[in-house]
Chain A
Amino acid sequence: MPPNPTVDRPSNVSDALARGRLGVPSVIFFVLSAAAPLTVVAGVVTTGYAVTGITGMPLAFLAVGAVLALFSVGYVAMARRVENAGAFYAYVSRGIGRPAGVGAAWVALIAYNALQVGLYGAIGAAAAPVLGTLFGVEPHWSVVALVAWALVAFLGLLRVDVNGLVLAVLLIAEIVVIVVFDLGQLSHPAGGSTSFAALAPANLLVPGAGALLVLAMTGFVGFESSVVFSEESKDPRRTVPLATYLSVAIIAGLYALSSWSMTVAVGPENISAAAGEQSIELIFNLAAAHLGDTAVTIGQALFMTSVLAAMISFHNTTARYAFALGRERVLPAAFGQTSPRTGAPRMASLAQSLLGLLVIVLYAVNGWDPVVQLFYYAGTGGGFGVLLLIATTSVAVIVYFARSDTSESLWKRAIAPALATVALAAVVAVAVANFATLLGVAPDSPLRWIIPGVYPVAALIGLLWGLVLRANRPDVYARIGRGAESAATSLFGPPVEQPVPVESRR
């Protein structure tokens, strides 16, 4: 039978597969719940003010939001053509070449692991007030972190992604709390008048502004996961791009508002000192003064669940990264195996949990500060890694579209990605220059080079490993960047849309 040309013919297959497809709101919910807004507002923003001492944070969120929106134009256009679309290294493999893809994969593993592990440093501080209210005890942060760790490890193995409805309710509650707190802060400005000083562009042109941009980037991590749903969305050409832009806009708006309102309530000149003294407690102390104890208790409880949800979400992201690499045989094949009964990527999940345990024990034994030295360092370090990935992916998008025949408009395939690449390169450059400010250490501190230096080293080792694979294991080499789809690589040789064989370019 020839294919039926009439479009209106009902199709059981299409109908059945369309059921349960995601619309724009579902994708946005998924993205934002991974972004954990209250964790960023209460944790990252306050610690950022304390450590950097710069007040340009609201502008940094808006600037990074604009850059990421620009980046997303090419990113979502390419996502439809990439297997394993949720992983940046897949874009790098397809655009720049497979060895570079392996380098990007190593960077991604480090960055996402750092972001996940860093959250163990925040959970102690986040849970302390809640546990104090409920039980009258304030255990050592490492005890709380170990309990959270056990929960994350257990849920990771069971593949219990926290129920979507629960996440949605928590997310809405978090956003409501943030907005209410913001309104409380705005209605009680320091000195009696609302100060717009933090919004002056000059605040982003000071030395150390690169630090703020990295902090802001950390707040956006998670927006990239929207493209995972290309195949499950109602209309891949519309749903995913729209959800991505809206997510970026919502995140930028919410964080800019919150970080600005904090400066209004405390006074722009006092914000750094106040945040230094009160750390994560700052916004709750402000809320206590403006809104009363009930609002504070709700906010603190939600902060704790927000950190937990972010931990679980990043754990699963990291485990899936390792799983995809195991499927490609870039990591040992054991990482690509699942637990039969639950379908959890067992080995990948265990490895991530093991790392978390080691870090918690290391910090507890050495008595290092969990909030600044674990949560903040690992968080910003991870955020910087994601920034590098995004910048590299932006280059990959340009190269990919330049080498393939495509119906995309010039704006989507060249202009927007080129502008985004320039902007991202600038952000990376100032970030590297200002890394000491970001970490709040002396300019000659070795940490200032060690933390950003991890990534080029990892990328280089990954690149070399990719070249080794090309020479010795061509079967594995062909699989790089294809994630779960790499199983089918043996059938077709190189991917169908690969315009120029990578080999000929080097």
Chain B
Amino acid sequence: MLVADEFFLIAHNDSRGKAKLHPSATGLGLAAGLLAELILFGQITVSGGLVTVIDRRPPADALAHTVLDQLIGESQHQAVRTWLAFLAQSSTTSVGERLARAGVLRRQENRRLLRTTVSYLPIDLNAAAWPATRLRALVERPEQPLVSDTTLLGLVAAAGLTREVLWSAGPRAHHRLSTLVGSLPAPLKELVVHTEAAVGAAVLRGIP
């Protein structure tokens, strides 16, 4: 499962598809997840606060392909923060749809009085709860996790979801988490800290 997919499942309640994380942090976390996927595929890199496309061949995943096309098509915008803000506007929907296409979630429209909200319900509860469980186990095990998993851990922490994943873990797990995130390759580490800064800035701005 891709980084943004797992982030989505962690950020939403496993049984009713309710959000565990407020919308702006969810959007930013998922946006970062989408960029992280492209970094992990070796198609873009992040350095000095800028996103650079290094491989323009289309990736296998349709959504990753779309994001890459946007990056290529609007090369006048390079700042990570710009792309995080832009992708955050649509990332909840686009990743939710991707999970629906993959048969993990089911799209459901809820009509309340004047507006229609969309939520994504898990088809298999165990599959939806798995990413959080898996991450918790990773932090508690001594082996070095995969780079993609460490990235996911970093984004979860940056968005303020650490407690959701490490709810029962002691201070050692929290310490290990920060050590792991510190060991990420430079572009991914930079993406993680920019996500943390963007989430914090959204809180400081105050207006929802």
Q: Which residues of A does B touch, CB under 8 Å? A: 1-4, 11-14, 16-17, 30, 84, 86, 159, 161, 164, 228-229, 232, 316, 320, 323-324, 327, 336-345, 483-488, 490-491
On whether the beta carbons of A323 and B164 are closer than 8 Å, the reply is no
Q: Which residues of B does A touch, CB under 8 Å? A: 19-22, 24-25, 49, 70, 72-77, 82-83, 85-86, 89, 158, 160-161, 163-164, 189-190, 193-194, 196-208
Report the tally of A-B residue pairs with Cβ distances under 8 A. 112
Task: Find the residue from B21, B77, B207 having the highest chain A CB count within 10 A.
Answer: B207
User: Which B residues touch A320, using CB under 8 A?
Assistant: 203-204, 206
On whether the beta carbons of A13 and B22 are closer than 8 Å, the reply is no
On whether the beta carbons of B76 and A327 are closer than 8 Å, the reply is no
On whether the beta carbons of B203 and A323 are closer than 8 Å, the reply is yes
On whether the beta carbons of B76 and A341 are closer than 8 Å, the reply is no
Shortest distance between the CB of A74 and any CB in chain B (Å): 22
CA distance A316 to B25 in the complex (A): 19
> Beyond A4-B76, A12-B74, A161-B208, is A487–B197 a contact (Cβ under 8 Å)?
yes
User: Which B residues touch A161, using CB under 8 A?
Assistant: 206-208
CA distance A336 to B200 in the complex (A): 8
User: Which A residues touch B161, using CB under 8 A?
Assistant: 340
User: Which A residues touch B197, using CB under 8 A?
Assistant: 484-488
On whether the beta carbons of B200 and A483 are closer than 8 Å, the reply is yes
On whether the beta carbons of A340 and B190 are closer than 8 Å, the reply is no
On whether the beta carbons of B75 and A4 are closer than 8 Å, the reply is yes
User: Which B residues touch A316, using CB under 8 A?
Assistant: 206
On whether the beta carbons of A159 and B208 are closer than 8 Å, the reply is yes
On whether the beta carbons of B190 and A491 are closer than 8 Å, the reply is yes
On whether the beta carbons of A16 and B89 are closer than 8 Å, the reply is yes
On whether the beta carbons of B22 and A340 are closer than 8 Å, the reply is yes
A17 contacts which of B70, B85, B201 (Cβ < 8 Å)?
A: B85
CA distance A488 to B20 in the complex (A): 25
Shortest distance between the CB of A313 and any CB in chain B (Å): 9
On whether the beta carbons of A1 and B75 are closer than 8 Å, the reply is yes
CA distance A327 to B89 in the complex (A): 24
19 contacts between A and B (CB under 8 A): A3-B75, A4-B76, A11-B77, A13-B83, A30-B207, A159-B208, A228-B206, A323-B203, A327-B200, A338-B203, A340-B20, A340-B163, A341-B20, A341-B21, A341-B22, A485-B201, A486-B197, A488-B194, A488-B197
User: Which B residues touch A336, using CB under 8 A?
Assistant: 200
On whether the beta carbons of B207 and A1 are closer than 8 Å, the reply is no
Pairs A-B, 9 closest by C-beta atoms = A484-B200, A343-B22, A487-B196, A487-B197, A484-B201, A13-B86, A488-B193, A487-B193, A488-B197
